[in-house]
Amino acid sequence: MRTDLAIVGSGIAGLYVGLKACSHYKVTILTKGSIDECNTKYAQGGIAAPIGEGDSPELHYRDTIAAGCGLCKPEAVRILVDEAVDRIHDLIDYGIEFDTVNGEIALAREGAHSVPRVIHAGGDATGARIEGTLSRLARKFGIKILERHLVTKILVKGGAAVGVRALDCATGSAREIESRWTVLATGGAGHLFKYSTNPEVATGGGVALAYDAGAIIADMEFFQFHPTALAIPGAPQFLISEAVRGEGGILRNVSGERFMHRYHEDGELASRDVVSRSIASEMSRTGADHVFLDLTHLPRRRVVTRFPNIYRFCIEHGLDITRKPIPVAPAAHYMVGGVSTNLWGETSVKNLFACGEVACTGVHGANRLASNSLLEVLVFGKRIVDRVLEGSLEWGHDKLGADEYIVPIDGGEDPDGEPSVEALRELLWRCVGIKRRGEKLLEAGAVLGGWSERLRKGSGGNDGALELGSMVLVARLMAKAALTREESRGCHFREDFPTESPRWLTHIAFVRGGEGL
């Protein structure tokens, strides 16, 4: 089978790139699940854009740079904020209706934003609204969608990507799809951790594919943990949006005491990494497995209309959030690092692009500013299509930036027990979670290295075995990067190196076949 543009992943990144390109080229989207199952669907917070009175691209730029703790790429952030308004207009043109007040788009404030600038659709249903609209348009405009197709390899010839190999999970047969350009839009890797707000499809597969193809992988130590996932026994780890705190939600410990101002002057509106670590510390101090997010002081109508999905989900699990506080605990949420790209979404492998959570564009630095992720998808997704349309230009990705520090992946030892998804998730939460220490990271690296060797020697070629091998590889990259960075910066926190160090104003990178690999 041949196509012009092969897109791996069917979230907002893949759909948006496909829609922008389909009037010019034949587009094929491959997704390992159904088109409806992706991280976008669960994005409640919204999209940050400097459109409000008193806001500006410059102010949005400064907030993003501050959140990134010295590791943002300024030129990428500048592009993000300058092109934001045009990309919001694209969504409006596609038929997405954002929430309004008195005829103007409503704006909410979230942690580490200096002003209200987050727009929503359907209250806390922003991701689902966008995903549903774009998927309907993709079908309408004839984009070929291959569901339940697990991409197992990026085909590379002469240093350039020429297509993909995929396993049809329904039939068990493999097929190759030739393409002029390939776009990785596979989303994040939250399902590598025991506690996560992500769906099961978020396993980091795009990072493993890119690494295997020879692309540069960067910043894998930076994984953002969301501070407030629902913690009701027996209920899914449902995300309780940061916008809840932006609307006035208060964090209390199990004794009912408000505690955030003991940890940070911004209280509940501190950045996500600060709030996550503060909650973890408070849980440890009180011996509890959760804290409470209290909305009971807010008007009932305001809560129900602003957060209809959260209200409805909690009611279904026996909790009326207008009358009782919500039990919450931190959970893995967003992969900040990923496949290194330039300002046009190009990876270091010719004709291979990356977009969305799988990509490391340099926008987020060491810590993503809330609700910048959906905006990043739109801005850099559009730039990928622009770059493809300007196909006569020379390839623009430097093989390795001057501020990138290549490290090898360590070997391993033969661990007790067979590798499994459950064991992997338990290991990463325990050793590579919110708070890290050198000895735990060494333990994780040794176990993961042993599992990798055991899986390599195995003969399993089914989708489960292939995906587990991919997950172990991504976990090894995370653990090694976290061990290498001997400081605390952004959402990476080392208890044995609890402060920032100017020595580490650099990016840790991996490339297959590089030094020591």
Quote the pLDDT of residue 39: 47
59 within domain boundaries: no
Rama region for 318: left / alpha / beta (φ>0; ψ in -120 to 50; rest): left
Dihedrals phi, psi of 515, to nearest 5 degrees: -55, 120
> Which residue in the list 78, 87, 117, 272 is annotated as catalytic?
272
Residue in 337, 260, 348, 249 with CA at minimum distance from that of residue 293:
249
The b/e string for 4-18 (b: 16+ C-beta within 10 A; e otherwise) is: bbbbbbbbbbbbbbb
Compute the 3-state secondary structure of the chain and give helix, strand, coil in percent, each to the nearest 5.
35, 20, 45
Last residue of a domain, one of 302, 330, 358: 330
Residue 311 lies in a domain: yes
Q: What is the pLDDT of residue 78?
A: 98
**Residue 275 and residue 267: Cα distance in Å, rounded?**
8
Asked if 454 and 419 touch (Cβ cutoff 8 Å), the reply is yes
Domain count, the chain: 2
CA distance 62 to 64: 5
Domain co-membership, 408 together with 500: yes
Residues 243 and 326 in one domain: yes
In a domain, 161, yes or no: no
Inside any domain, residue 323: yes
Would the CA dihedral through 500, 503, 505, 508 be positive or negative? negative
> Which of 311, 330, 349 lies at the terminal end of a domain, its last residue?
330
User: Where a domain ends, among 283, 304, 330?
Assistant: 330
In a domain, 410, yes or no: yes
The candidate with the shortest Cα–Cα distance to 63, out of 291, 368, 354, is 368
Q: Say yes or no: 320 and 414 in one domain.
A: no
280: domain CATH number is 3.90.700.10
Determine the Cα–Cα distance for residues 295 and 28; give it in Å rounded to an integer.
45
Q: What's this model's pTM, rounded to 2 decimal places?
A: 0.92
Distance between CA atoms of residues 36 and 39, nearest Å: 10
Q: Is residue 219 part of a domain?
A: no
What's the pLDDT at 106?
92
Count of other CB atoms within 10 angstroms of residue 390: 9
- Max distance between CA atoms of the chain, in angstroms, equals 64
Tell me which residue range forms the domain holding 408: 403-510
Instruction: Examine the domain organization and report whether 407 and 506 are in the same domain.
Output: yes
Distance of alpha carbon 310 from alpha carbon 238, whole angstroms: 8
272 a catalytic residue: yes
409 and 324 share one domain? no
The two counts, helices (H) then strands (E), for the chain are 14, 20
**Do 421 and 506 lie in a common domain?**
yes
9: left (phi over 0), alpha (psi -120 to 50) or beta: left
Residue 428, both tokens: 């990463």
Domain co-membership, 326 together with 408: no
Pairing of strands 404-406, 507-510: parallel
Here the CATH number for the domain that contains residue 469 is: 1.20.58.100
Whether 155 is covered by a domain: the verdict is no
Residue 286 in any domain: the answer is yes
**pLDDT for the residue 402:** 47
For 394, the enclosing helix (H) or strand (E) is: none
Backbone angles phi, psi at 264, to 5 degrees: -155, 145
Q: Provide the Cα torsion 363, 19, 208, 227; round to 10°.
A: 50
Distance CA 184, CA 360 (A): 12
- pLDDT tens sequence for the chain (517 residues): 999 999 999 999 999 999 999 999 999 999 998 876 554 555 556 899 999 999 999 999 999 999 999 999 999 999 999 999 999 999 999 999 999 998 999 998 887 899 999 999 988 788 888 999 999 999 999 999 999 999 999 999 999 999 999 999 989 999 999 999 999 999 999 999 999 999 899 999 999 999 999 999 999 999 999 999 999 999 988 999 888 998 999 999 999 999 999 999 999 988 788 899 999 999 999 999 999 999 999 999 999 999 998 999 999 999 999 999 999 999 999 999 999 999 999 999 999 999 999 999 999 999 999 899 999 999 999 999 999 998 755 667 766 554 556 667 766 666 667 899 999 999 999 999 999 999 999 999 999 999 998 888 775 566 778 899 999 999 999 999 999 999 999 999 999 999 999 999 999 999 987 543 3
